[in-house]
A and B are shown apart, each in its own frame.
Chain A
Amino acid sequence: MFPFTFVKARDERAALAAGRDGGRYIAGGTTLVDLMRETVERPGTVVDITALPYRQIELRGDVLRLGALATMADVAATGIVKQQFPVLAQALDRSASAQLRNMATIGGNLMQRPRCLYFRDVTAGCNRRDPGSGCSAVEGHNRTHAVLGTSPACVATHPSDLAVALVALDAIVLLRSTEGDRRVAVQKFFLAPGSTPDREHDLRPGELITGVEVPRTAATRTSGYLKVRDRESYEFALASAAIALEIRAGVIRSARIAVGGMGTVPWRLPAVEAALIGRRPGPELFDKAAALAADGARPLSENAFKITLVQRTVARQLATVAEGAA
């Protein structure tokens, strides 16, 4: 770990000032501390924001507001989330381990960094960690890596389950800095690597996530998250699907579908959604729509199986959610 200055912010103003001066925000610390120990992250100043009042979990009108400091465990256990936004509760419940969920926050979850084996090993080349040093994964071990949104510079998978669900539900990230507030769609908040994989988020210097807003629609109540992984718990997705469907009078009126474990960012599937809307749910339709789930995929040496896997994962989860809607 490199030496750093630790600042405990008493209030929002102090936090934003410290952030403006280049401090890195820390809350649960479940990602940042690990990466600092591995010297992947070398912040000069770490700003503890846990004293800030961002812990709300509340539904106002048709908007669910999750404070950036609400823990994953608390959100997953909240009745309104479980009942009205099951895809969120399920995505959180299937993330990490109970211990981590008790520490990790919603804001931190959106800021978590890739699990790429080479990104986390400072003796290996990695454009995301060390721009220009080359991507070790493209021709190395890449079984868990992305097949969508990749570039020659980086193929790391976005690790968050929560973000996949938020992208499906058109959630908004709330940002604040000494320059003012911004609202950014979660889908646009995450940046595909392109030629600048070190730029992971649409975040301006010193900006702090204060919360997330999730609109409630006719589809959110009939939603769910399916996560396929090597072991039964405490493991990232090889493929996952967050799906919300509105089915009225036997016809799919709206569909919101995003997949995880597949992309360099959480991956929305508008073509699959379009193939469903206006049609009657059924296995044949689901298979046909899910066949589009990996459109544009560029498999690497070890992860071509993800194409089949994501198609099947989406098809199964369509059936599961549709059954709940019926």
Chain B
Amino acid sequence: MTGPSIGQPVARVDGVARVTGAARYSADHSAPGLVHAVLVTSAVSRASVAAPDVADARSQPGVVEVFTDFSGARLPWAAGQVNFFGQPVAIVVGTTLEAAEHAARLIDTGPAAGGSTPAVTDMNDPGLPTVVPPRSPDYRRGDPDSAIAAAPVRVDQRYRIARENHNPMEPPGVVAEWTGDRLTMYDKTQWVQGTARDVAAALGVPPENVRVISPFIGGAFGSAGLTWPHQILAAWTARQLRRPVKLVLTRKQMYSSIGYRPASDQRVILAAGRDGRITATAHEARTEDARYASYQDEITAVSRFLYRSPAMRSSHRLVPLDVAVPTYTRGPGFVTGTFALESAMDELAVELGIDPIELRLRNEPDANQDTGLPFSSRGLPTCLRRGAAEFGWAGRNPAPRSRREDGLLIGTGVASGAYNAGRRPASARARIDRAGNAVVSSATSDMGPGTATSMTQVAADALGLPMSRVQFMLGDSELPTAPMHAGSVTMASVGPAVLTACTMLRDALVRIAVTDPASPLYGVPVERVTVRDGRLSSSDDPKRSETYRQLLSRRGGDGLDTLRDWSPSDNQTRYDTHGYGAVFAEVAVDELVGTIRVRRMRAVYDVGAVVNPRLAHSQALSGMVYGIGMALLEGTIRDHRDGRIVNANLSNYLVPVNADIVDLDASFLGEADPVTGPLGVKGLAELVIVGVPAAVANAVYHATGRRARELPITLESQL
């Protein structure tokens, strides 16, 4: 006998497969006659080139072909034009990976290859032209500049964040095989159907001819959301050669091939009365962008609604450069904007002499002042209060440098966080076989949050089956439609589709039973039938019951299935829906040698209902780890003399290691938000990084009295 699984801390259904190596990732696949493709990338940032000299490479043993002309593949740049350091300019194909890699090394793509022209890769160069991002027009409400000028208390500061790369464990890999004019791709992607559509379009074949399979992902953080040139080129190469092709990016190539979080430079102005009430906010942002393609983070959005501010203006400028195009990176836009806003809030609290939590509570808005919509739910004040209690905030001496332990300066800091609770249309199929086992499917992905597990929970509860008898399938473009596995929308979109399909299937089975004279349930009103553990029973007379298996065996046939679509209601236009969090950090700064370590972190999140507290807790901790890296370690170092990335490896691009992560914990308010849909969830994965860097930076200020306005906060900045 099992009860409902939603809300239970269920272990991952694929956990054993993932940790034992049984899970097969994209690059683990092979095919008869498979050859290995290696990208050769540009070692200059801008050039108009004839093809590089590949004669030596072509003559190497084991080399099948060397391509420099990608005609027939639609790429985001014009043929013969190098737009960034690291752009693919040739493909070497070998019978072994080693042969292809060796030959690839013999191709010179540097300045000696000719055609290079001066490039601009540094957004801080003076006088660069800028662009207003299409989705972030300049915004204004009230008269912010007059309000700022008139305010008795002001904070006006700049905040900078280094470029960051995603660095998932799994490198992107493709195995592409054509059968006639039909393509099958094993590929690392957060959106099998988006990749299938994009690859088909880039190669000029009908979308239904491309199938993309990606059941397991070894982390992505946004890097596998959009379709990248290496995916198109792998499929193109396989078509040119009429052979299956495997292409795996090297770790170094990942730094220029799958996007990054753009470097940013922000200015935030907060104006307030002595009572701590904000009278005006201004938020200006600049981010780097590519010239050949464009990406924008929604950096200033958070400042338009998080706190009450009668007057407000925001603006964002992109700086197009000779660099690869950025993309979504965990908490896109929000974590960047929130670092600036929540640092400025901490600075304002210091200016006013008001506790930073109290300052936030005094500026709690009644509605979203940007859109005018009421909040569907707004747990931020509760998160702040409960977090303060769990962290032990009470009695904190607000004076910087007021706490020393064992020769270390100890500081604590707090920051709020928020992220969109988005929903998208999705579909799911639910199928039950004669043995009473269910297979539920949707073309979503699982890059780490445990999608397969949480969807199995939703399906099992809706069908009245134990989880062990439900299998959830994902990661195949031929499955029912799902949105990109990104933006924290999966549980709130695919979840309701699964719920709907499984509920419909159960209802169909119940109707069959009550209308079948051979069933013990014949004639029982439908609403008086319950299903549990695969057994249908009359609620009035539990002795009248049978199992799905008995019912389906008697009926004959293969079983039953249903395909259902789910779309979010118009609530999206009537309510503002966001998830919220309050993050608390305690840092120790060793002032003598400059080291900063996070000793303790606590957070409380309002994410609506929690389907699986164990997975949610794990997600929250992963967001903290990521945010600690962003605050203290991460940064992509470019050499602007030629635009190369000099730390394109996991030795020199620092992320936290186990020894950096000491004591983290998170909890959830757990209250369902019915406006978001039948599961009442608001999304989690993006939100949980959002407030973390600001909480760390604010704690560093409290410890040392030095305000850290630039990420990562370096050791030398503390000397």
Contacts and interface: CB of A to CB of B under 8 A. Distances in A.
Contact of B656 (A122, A124, A229, A231): A231
Contact of B641 (A120, A140, A309): A140
A124 B105 contact: no
A238 B715 contact: yes
Say whether chain A's binding surface is mostly helix, strand, loop, or mixed.
Answer: loop
A118 interface: yes
B43 A309 contact: no
Contacts of A2: 102, 105
A124 B638 CA distance: 13
Contacts of B649: 120
A123 B110 contact: yes
Interface residues of A, number: 34
Interface in A228-258: 228-235, 238-239
Contacts of B1: none
B656 A313 contact: no
A141 B716 CA distance: 15
B592 A312 contact: yes
A67 B255 CA distance: 40
A308 interface: yes
A271 interface: no
B639 A136 contact: yes
Contact of A233 (B98, B641, B659, B714): B659
A123 B593 contact: no
Given A136-B639, A141-B637, A238-B715, A309 B102 contact: no
A295 interface: no
B647 interface: yes
Contacts of B105: 2, 39, 122
Contacts of B143: none
B49 interface: no
A202 interface: no
A131 B656 CA distance: 36
B646 A1 contact: no
Given A2-B102, A230-B715, A309-B593, A235 B644 contact: no
B601 to A, nearest CB: 15
A289 to B, nearest CB: 16
Interface string A41-52: 000000000000
Most A CB contacts (10 A, CB to CB) among B109, B647, B715 go to B715
- Which of B110, B597, B646 is packed against the most chain A CB atoms within 10 Å? B646
B639 A140 contact: yes
Interface in A124-178: 124, 136, 139-141, 143
B704 to A, nearest CB: 15
A316 B644 contact: no
Interface string A268-298: 0000000000000000000000000000000
A321 to B, nearest CB: 16
B593 A124 contact: no
A231 B593 contact: no
Contacts of A141: 637, 639, 646
Contacts of A228: 593-595, 715
A180 interface: no
Nearest to A122: B105
B651 A232 contact: no
A305 interface: yes
Contacts of A313: 593
Interface in B575-609: 592-595, 597
Contacts of A39: 105
Given A115-B652, A231-B654, A231-B657, A316 B647 contact: no
Interface in B676-719: 714-716, 719
B101 interface: yes
Interface residues of B, number: 33
B633 interface: yes
Contacts of B652: 115, 117
Nearest to A118: B646
A121 interface: yes
A3 interface: yes
A312 to B, nearest CB: 5
Interface string A209-238: 000000000000000000011111111001
B436 to A, nearest CB: 47
Given A1-B102, A228-B593, A121 B644 contact: yes
Given A121-B646, A228-B593, A231-B659, A305 B637 contact: no
A146 to B, nearest CB: 16
Nearest to B652: A117
Interface in B631-649: 632-633, 637, 639, 641, 644, 646-647, 649
Contacts of A117: 637, 646-647, 652
Contacts of A3: 102
B660 interface: yes
A312 B656 CA distance: 25
Contacts of A120: 649
A5 to B, nearest CB: 15
Nearest to A238: B715
A230 B633 contact: yes
B293 to A, nearest CB: 24
Scoring A97, A117, A309 by chain B CB atoms within 10 A of each residue's CB, the highest score goes to A117
A147 B468 CA distance: 62
Contacts of A1: 98, 101-102
A141 B715 CA distance: 16
A319 to B, nearest CB: 10
A140 B641 CA distance: 8
Nearest to B407: A316
B633 A233 contact: no
Contacts of A124: 644, 646
A139 B633 CA distance: 23
A3 B61 CA distance: 11
Interface string B76-115: 0000000000000000000000100110010001100000
Contact of B593 (A121, A232, A312): A312
Contacts of A233: 657-660
Given A117-B646, A140-B646, A309 B639 contact: no
Contacts of B594: 228, 305, 309
A287 to B, nearest CB: 11
B382 to A, nearest CB: 34
A39 B98 CA distance: 12
Contacts of A123: 43, 109-110, 644
B597 A232 contact: yes
A312 B718 CA distance: 13
Nearest to A97: B657
A232 B660 contact: yes
A118 B645 CA distance: 10
Contacts of B716: 143, 305, 309
A308 B718 CA distance: 11
B98 to A, nearest CB: 6
B310 to A, nearest CB: 43
B100 to A, nearest CB: 11
Contacts of A231: 632-633, 654, 656-657, 659-660
B640 to A, nearest CB: 9
Contacts of B109: 123
B256 to A, nearest CB: 12
Interface in A299-321: 305, 308-309, 312-313, 316
16 contacts: A1-B102, A120-B649, A122-B105, A124-B646, A228-B593, A228-B594, A230-B654, A231-B632, A231-B633, A232-B659, A233-B657, A238-B715, A305-B594, A305-B719, A308-B719, A313-B593
Interface of B: 43, 98, 101-102, 105, 109-110, 592-595, 597, 632-633, 637, 639, 641, 644, 646-647, 649, 651-652, 654, 656-660, 714-716, 719
Which 5 pairs from chain A and chain B are nearest by CB?
A: A232-B659, A305-B716, A233-B659, A117-B646, A123-B43
Given A233-B658, A308-B719, 14 more contacts: A1-B102, A117-B637, A117-B646, A123-B110, A136-B639, A141-B639, A230-B654, A231-B633, A231-B657, A232-B597, A233-B657, A235-B657, A305-B594, A305-B719
